């Protein structure tokens, strides 16, 4: 499961961006937000995760689940999101939907 920083770097690479400032503009967030991502003080919120997924050409759930796991405050919630991500990867979308609904 990728981290926010890894997703951010993927976005920069996909778009050929030279700086975090350019990545911030592409994602529709502030440069300060990107700095917080880099230092682990903040993680993608759902709209940013969706935008990153659009740029990367992947399903948004892959980035959303990773971001929600990363920003989870307890191990149980983190494990739920990691499990949902793994189920998504193997194609068990019915179970993933049920897990996501329990955590909203």
The range of the structural domain enclosing residue 51 comes to 4-102
Closest CA to 51 of 16, 10, 81, 21: 10
H-only helix segments in the chain: 4-15, 20-27, 31-39, 46-56, 60-71, 75-90, 93-102
Q: What is the pLDDT of residues 27-63, one digit of tens each?
A: 999 999 999 999 999 999 999 999 999 999 999 999 9
Looking at the structure of the chain, the number of domains it has is: 1
Residue with tokens 């499961």, as numbered in its chain:
1
Burial status of residue 68 (CB atoms within 10 A of its CB: 0-12, 13-18, 19 or more): buried
Is the model's pLDDT at 104 over the cut of 60? no
pLDDT for the residue numbered 96? 54
Secondary structure of residue 16 in the 3-state scheme: coil
């Amino acid at each position: 499961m990728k981290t926010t920083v890894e997703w951010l770097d993927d976005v920069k690479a996909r778009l050929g961006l030279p700086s975090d400032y350019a990545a911030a503009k592409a994602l529709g967030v502030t440069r300060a937000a990107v700095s917080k991502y880099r230092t682990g003080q903040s993680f993608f919120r759902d709209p940013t995760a969706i935008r990153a997924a659009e740029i990367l050409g992947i399903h948004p759930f892959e980035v959303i689940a990773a971001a929600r796991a990363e920003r989870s405050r307890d191990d149980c919630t983190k494990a739920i999101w990691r499990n949902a991500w793994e189920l998504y990867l193997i194609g068990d979308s019915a179970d993933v939907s049920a897990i996501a609904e329990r955590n909203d």
